[in-house]
Amino acid sequence: MKKLFGTDGIRGIANQELTCELAIKIGKAVAEVLTDSGENKPKILIGKDTRISSDMLESALFAGICSSGAEAFSLGVVPTPAVAYLTKKYSADAGIMISASHNSYEFNGIKIFDRNGYKLPDEIENKIEELIAKHNVLTSPPPIGDKIGKITKCETAISDYTKYVAETVKTFPRRLKVAIDCANGSASTTANLLFKKLNVDTAIISSSPNGTNINDNCGSTHLENLRKYVKNNNCDIGIAFDGDADRCLAVDETGETMDGDIILAICAKNLKEKGNLKNDTLVTTIMSNMGLKKFCSQNKIKFSETKVGDRYVLERMLKKGYSLGGEQSGHLIFLDYSTTGDGQLTAVQLINILANSELKASDLRNLIKKYPQKSLNINIKLSQKGMAAKNKNINDYIKNITNKLGENGRIVLRESGTEPKIRIMFEHEDENKLDELLTQAKKIVENNLK
């Protein structure tokens, strides 16, 4: 059996790669691995995003969990970080989120959290995969009679989650006009309630999910509509979430993008000034812009890099006791408040910084000068996964181009952890060189993967 878990849970095309049969096994395996045997039935929470396939996969997970003798609690449509938070708050044994995050609607995914609200380490994922690979997932006879689990609908999930996020800040000292793009996803159920609690003049867009329009020309992967709305309606700032609202990007009042690196810079500087940036350190991945590293150096903030994936950022933060980390894509982890990336928590922190200053959002954006950066994706076959990292010609090319670029730029070439793609990214102080560099790298990768 091929490896199921990628960098962010199990993901694939719903009903083709991520089937009901597989979801039933996942439900059984989670109940087996992440719960303690005892007199009380184990308790597992399930949340979902707005994809048409989420109901189907939810039902299959319910079946697997209940047939294992565990109790399933339905949170309904909620953000991924809500599942992480509520798993710990409700003293559940595990939490499961059904979502493919920023992917288009035909994809779906299953993300799993332990009882403390953290994503699973590799060794636990491996145990779950080993059980799923067996003909019979359960290690003991299946329960019968009143030992079978049941499904309970949780009515307090949204109110409890939004209350917790709102309480991470005080009421904003000045009332801002904020446009919120919910990506027709999970934030559609929470954003309006959350920002009303904080007395924000909020305009909600892309908040009418129909099962197939999640991330469709909206949200953090498509900022065009948000840019137009902010400029046409004189908003102070615009906020965009992805499908499951675990990431957040923004646009300033002029419509210019504030990506994860910019938001990290703003938040890190603010936390350091207040004495709340633990060890004066910011954790990011190798994809973060070289400009962020220079910004940190100028502001006496230490810079710690990890592999791509918010799970690796979190691992570093937990190991070293850091309080802020994240990715350029908009996954930010405020470890003093949350166990995982939380788009709405990030938005609240960013808006709070803006509201407590006399600055415009564009003034905050201009705190950091970014290097020009461009990237492209190369589609690969499943049979080609892992080949690029082992190819001598590709590795020699990366070494040679790295030496040639020196301090003026860099290349990052890696395989996606969530899709069958090779991602190539270049940074260079001369933007005119980026297209030429990408074209050359693309040709080398494609020729050597034939």
Cβ atoms of 201 and 178 within 8 Å: the answer is yes
CATH class of 373-448: alpha beta
Cite the residue boundaries of each domain of the chain with CATH code 3.30.310.50. 373-448
**What span, in angstroms and rounded, lies between the C-alpha atoms of 196 and 443?**
51
pLDDT of residue 387: 86
Question: Which H or E run includes 428?
Answer: strand 421-428
pLDDT at 1: 60
Terminal-to-terminal C-alpha distance of the chain: 25
Dist CA 158 CA 79 (whole Å): 9
The predicted pLDDT at position 139 comes to 74
Report in angstroms the alpha-carbon separations of 225 from 79, 188, 250, 342, 405: 22, 16, 12, 22, 36
Q: Write out the two tokens for 40.
A: 């009380």
Phi, psi dihedral angles at 421 (to 5 degrees): -145, 150
Among the options 53, 67, 68, 101, which is catalytic? Answer: 101
5-155 homologous superfamily: Alpha-D-Glucose-1,6-Bisphosphate, subunit A, domain 3 (3.40.120.10)
Provide CATH code, domain 160-365: 3.40.120.10
101 in active site: yes
What is the pTM (predicted TM-score) of this model? 0.89
At 3 the pLDDT is 84
Got the DSSP string for 221-272?
A: G--HHHHHHHHHTT-SEEEEE-TTSS-EEEE-TTS-EE-HHHHHHHHHHHHH
Over the chain (450 residues), what is each successive 10-residue block's mean pLDDT?
82 96 96 77 96 98 96 98 98 97 96 95 92 82 93 98 96 92 98 93 97 98 97 98 98 97 98 97 93 94 92 94 96 97 98 96 95 90 86 92 89 84 91 92 90
Q: Parallel, antiparallel, or unpaired for β 201-205 and 107-113?
A: unpaired
- Residue 427 pairs in a beta bridge with 373, 410
Q: Which two tokens stand for residue 64?
A: 């697997």
Residue intervals in the chain for CATH 3.40.120.10: 5-155, 160-365
